[in-house]
């Protein structure tokens, strides 16, 4: 199994992660200190520790951003502070299968938001399991 992981960059990265990633395409609004308005892009995946946002204009690693996203039914808004921990600008340097965007670590979310993220991740991981 270690041989497979070494030959597949996505598997190698997955082994380094603290939390499993669940696929999730959701509109995420975010704002930086320097931007007065929210930008909106779609996520690719989410984990208990963070979210990957697809964008052609990722911020630099270490940048703090304010995130907001809602469940599809609009019933609950999740919001809090995140930190960019991975920046993948568009271009020829990206490995195959990696979308331009940024990995954002959740830094400061209220307890209700954290519990809802946990529920979303658990639900998505259950759906992704082979039958």
Average pLDDT along the chain, 131 residues, taken 10 residues at a time: 37 59 91 80 94 94 93 79 95 85 96 92 86 67
pLDDT at 34: 67
DSSP symbols for 47-69: -SSEEEEE-SSPPPTT-EEEEEE
Report domain extents, the chain.
21-128
pLDDT at 60: 93
pLDDT at 71: 73
Q: Does domain 21-128 have CATH number 1.10.150.20?
A: no
Residue whose tokens read 């609009």: 74
- Dihedral over Cα of 56, 107, 97, 9: its sign: positive
pLDDT at 41: 94
- The candidate with the shortest Cα–Cα distance to 78, out of 27, 117, 26, is 117
pLDDT at 38: 86
On whether the CB atoms of residues 87 and 57 are closer than 8 A, the answer is no
């Amino acid at each position: 199994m270690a041989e497979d992981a070494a030959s597949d960059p996505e598997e190698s990265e997955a082994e380094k992660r603290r939390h499993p990633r669940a696929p999730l395409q959701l509109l995420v609004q975010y704002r930086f200190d320097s931007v007065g308005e929210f930008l909106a892009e779609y996520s690719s995946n989410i984990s208990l520790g963070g979210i990957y946002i697809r964008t052609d204009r990722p911020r630099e690693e270490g940048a703090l951003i304010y995130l907001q996203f809602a469940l599809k039914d609009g019933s609950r808004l999740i919001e809090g502070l995140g930190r960019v921990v991975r920046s993948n600008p568009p271009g020829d340097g990206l490995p195959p299968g990696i979308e331009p965007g940024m990995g954002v670590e959740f830094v400061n979310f209220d307890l209700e938001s954290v519990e809802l993220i946990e529920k979303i991740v658990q639900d998505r991981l259950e759906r992704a399991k082979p039958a």
